[in-house]
């Protein structure tokens, strides 16, 4: 397989559950938290929903598509 023209983006995605705070009278359910790290830049973003994470990943992939070809 020729990988010289391969376009890719690398991300590390972490998901974990955190118990509600003691002052949380509204919800006693554990909430999922999400972190995504862009491997090349080292940028980290945090999300409280899969929708937010998905929107971020879509945005990043559009940036890869719009980037000029590496020589």
For the chain, give every domain's residue range: 11-18+30-66
**The pair of three-digit structure tokens given for residue 46, joined into one six-digit string:** 């945090």
**The pair of three-digit structure tokens given for residue 9, joined into one six-digit string:** 């983006």
For 9-50, the three-class secondary structure string (H helix, E strand, C coil) is: CCEEEEEEEECCCCCCCCCCCCEEEEEEEECCCCCEEEECCH
Q: Summarize pLDDT for 5-35 with one digit per residue, the tens.
A: 667 889 999 999 877 665 555 556 778 899 9
pLDDT of 4 > 80? The answer is no
Residue 41 and residue 67 in contact, taking contact as beta carbons nearer than 8 Å:
no
């Amino acid at each position: 397989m020729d990988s010289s023209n391969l376009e890719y983006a690398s991300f590390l995605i972490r998901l974990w559950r955190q118990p509600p705070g003691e002052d949380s009278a509204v919800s006693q359910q554990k909430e999922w938290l999400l972190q995504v790290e862009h491997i090349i830049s080292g940028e980290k973003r945090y999300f409280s929903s899969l929708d937010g994470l998905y929107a971020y990943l879509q945005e990043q992939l559009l940036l890869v598509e719009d980037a000029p070809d590496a020589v």
